[in-house]
Every structure is written in C-alpha cells, then in structure tokens.
Amino acid sequence: MSNRTDSHRAFIERLVIAVIVVGIAFLLWNLRALFMLAFGAVLVAFILNLIALPIRERLGVPAPLALVAAVLIVLAVLGTAVWTFGAQIAGQAQALRELIPGAWQAMQARLEAWGLGSAVRDASASMTARGSVLSNIGNLAVTVGNGLVDTLLVIVGGIYLAAQPALYRTGLIKLVPKRGRALATDALDASGRALRLWLLGRLVSMGVVGLLTWLGLSLIGVPSALALGLLAALLEFVPFLGPLLSAVPAVLLAFADSPEKALWTILLFVAIQQFEGNLLEPLVQQRAVELPPALLLFALVAGGLVFGVAGVILAAPFTVVLFVMVKRLYVQEALDTETPLPGDKA
C-alpha cells in the first residue's frame, strides 16, 4: 500500500511539474514581443556603455557622469545631423512622398504601353480587395503609434540598464547554479565582445553604403538623393532585406523619368552591394564578427515569423549573441571541441 501511495504521489508531482513547465512556456510565448523589446533595450544600453567607456577610463569621469555624457553625445550628434541636413532631408522626404504616386502612375503607363498593364491592375485590385483604404490607414496609424511607444520604451529601458549594468548582470548570473556561474560569466563576456565588434562593423558598412548611394544617385540624377542615401544607410542595419527595401523607392523614381535611368539605378545598387559583400565586408570582418550567410538569412526569417517587425530589425545582433553562446557553452564546454570565438584575436 505504501509503495502504491508513493508511486501515486510521484506521478502527481511529475504531472504538476509538467503543467508548470507548459504554463511557463505558454507565458513566454505570449510575452515573446516583450522579450525582443527587452533585447532592444539591452542593445541600446550596450551602445551607450560603449560610448561612456572611453570617457570613464581615459578621463577618469565617474560612471554616472560618463553615462550622462554618452547620452548628451548621442543627442548632440543627432541634433547636429538634423541642424545640418534636417531641412534638406525633410524637403527631399516631402518631395519623395509627393513624387512616388506620380512615379507609380508613370510606371503603370509605361507597363501599359508594353502590354503589361493588365497584370499590374490585377495585382493592385487583389491588394485593395484585402481591406478598405480607410481601414488600412487606420491599421497603419495604430502600427506607427505602437512602434513609437515601443521605441520610447526601448530607449528609456536602455538608459536604465546602462545606468546600472553590474546590477542586472549580477542578477542574471545568480539565476545560474553556483557551479556554472563562472562559465556563464565567461559566455556573457564573449557575447559582449562579439556584439561590440558587430556593432562597429555595422556602423562602418552603414556609413559607406549611405555615402555611396547618395553620391551615385546624385550622379544619375534621381530626385531626393540625400534622403534615399540616408534611407539606404539606416536599412543597411537589416541584412538582405534592408538593401532590397531601400532600392524600391529609388528605382521607382528613376523609372518615372526613364527606363534607362531606372536601369542605371538598379546597376548602382547591385554594384554597391557587390562592393560591400566582396570588398568592404571581408575587411570589416577581420576585426568584427563573421556570421555564416545562410545562418543569418534563416535567422532573419525566423525573427520575422516569431517576433514580427522587431524580430526582423534585431535578428542580426540577436543571432550574434546566440551564435557566441552556442559556441562557448555547447561546442567548447559540452562537446570539448576547440573553436574560435569572435574577439579572441582583438
């Protein structure tokens, strides 16, 4: 009788544990968007600490004042950019918004002359049939509003994390059993080094791509070249998808002028991406993080499917952290296999 009671009790305990695990998994799945926002805040904190670190070490400034200086530097850079290029970019962005509908109509007219107008009309009809214009505008407004709120949350959360990084780091390490805390600390350090190198590499690529796009479009004669160059620089943060999205408005505006200009614009974007992929990226990756392209591509798709737009934007840095964690905790520790980690040679 005692054995049967013990077996029933053990069964009930296992059942309760299973229910708790399933409940936690269900809760985490429903909070996945919040998890990605938290990672975005960590990324913001990481950037602020990168700026504050040389101020704190070289000038001997206390950590809180160094963080304030880092925030002020970011605001000053943004303010200077707005002061210098703001009026021009705003004017070109307004012109871009006004030109795109006309460019779309001009492209439809050209396709109509080539006998492709019916296919374009059918595609447009299928897109508008999915919802009314007012409802689409309302959904867009809600999406933009939610995006602004999420962005504000990420920035404020990043500042709080940057103000006391040791507090949150220590709390995270304490969640690991004592025997694994040294390993967890080492893995966090390795992922931090990799993320720093990846961010520096991305900033270089974004700057070069934006500059080349601006100069190339100006030479071709595409309207709003500066705004399109800034758009290309910002979207370069998202691998694969970003360059394609940045090319769409430029090609559309060029096509409204002439098919030849559109062809030159396409060749420009292809040439810039070839230059980045074959020359710039190998040079940057010598001091940055080299991720397998297939891994990055599938991570981008998975981030979009699981986390939505935020997952697409943050897929690359999240993959960098996960990539280093797997190499350090699984390949090196669990499998006892030598493998280099990003930043080991830095």
What are the contacts of 197-200 at 24+ separation with CB within 8 A? 197/287, 197/288, 197/289, 197/342, 197/343, 197/346, 198/288, 198/289, 198/316, 198/317, 198/320, 198/342, 199/46, 199/47, 199/50, 199/317, 200/287, 200/288
Q: What is the pLDDT of residues 214-239, one digit of tens each?
A: 999 999 988 878 888 888 998 888 88
- Indicate whether 230 belongs to any domain: yes
Would you say residue 211 has pLDDT above 90?
yes
User: Could you tell me if residue 339 is inside a domain?
Assistant: no
> Which pLDDT belongs to residue 219?
93
Q: Give 50-84 pLDDT, tens digit per residue.
A: 888 888 888 888 888 888 888 898 888 777 766 76
Token pair in block for residue 119: 């296919």
Residue 196 lies inside a defined structural domain of this protein:
yes
Under a CB-based contact definition with an 8 Å cutoff, are residues 45 and 155 in contact? no
**Overall domain count for the chain:** 1
- Is 15 among the domain residues? no
- Average pLDDT, integer, range 326-346: 80
- 13 falls within a domain: no
Q: What does the buried/exposed string (b/e) look like for 26-47 if buried means 16 or more CB atoms within 10 Å of the residue's CB?
A: eeeeeeebebbbbbbbbbbbbb
Return d(Cα 225, Cα 92) in angstroms, integer.
Answer: 8
Range of the domain at 236: 32-334
Q: How much of the chain is helix, strand and coil, in % rounded to 5? A: 85, 0, 15
Q: Which strand (E) or helix (H) includes residue 34? A: helix 32-59
- 9-13, 252-256, 325-329: range with lowest mean pLDDT: 9-13
Which tokens belong to 294? Answer: 């297939």
Whether the Cβ atoms of residue 50 and residue 199 lie closer than 8 Å to each other: yes
- Structure-token pair, residue 315: 């897929």
Helices then strands, counting H and E runs in the chain, come out as 14, 0
Nearest to residue 40, comparing CAs of 284, 303, 287, 344? 303
The answer to whether residue 300 sits within a structural domain is yes
CB 337 within 8 A of CB 331: yes
- Say which residue the tokens 């544990």 belong to: 17
Please provide residue 82's backbone torsions phi and psi, each rounded to the nearest 5 degrees.
-65, -40
Give the pLDDT score at 63: 83
Q: How far apart are the first and last CA of the chain?
A: 66
Query: Lowest-pLDDT range, 24-33, 39-48, 86-95, 333-342?
Result: 86-95
- Tell me, yes or no, whether 4 lies in a domain: no
- Three-class DSSP labels, 41-59: HHHHHHHHHHHHHHHHHHH
Q: What is the pLDDT of residues 99-147, one digit of tens each?
A: 666 666 666 666 666 555 555 555 555 544 444 444 444 454 455 566 6
Please report whether residue 9 resides in a domain. no
DSSP secondary structure code for residue 341 in this structure: -
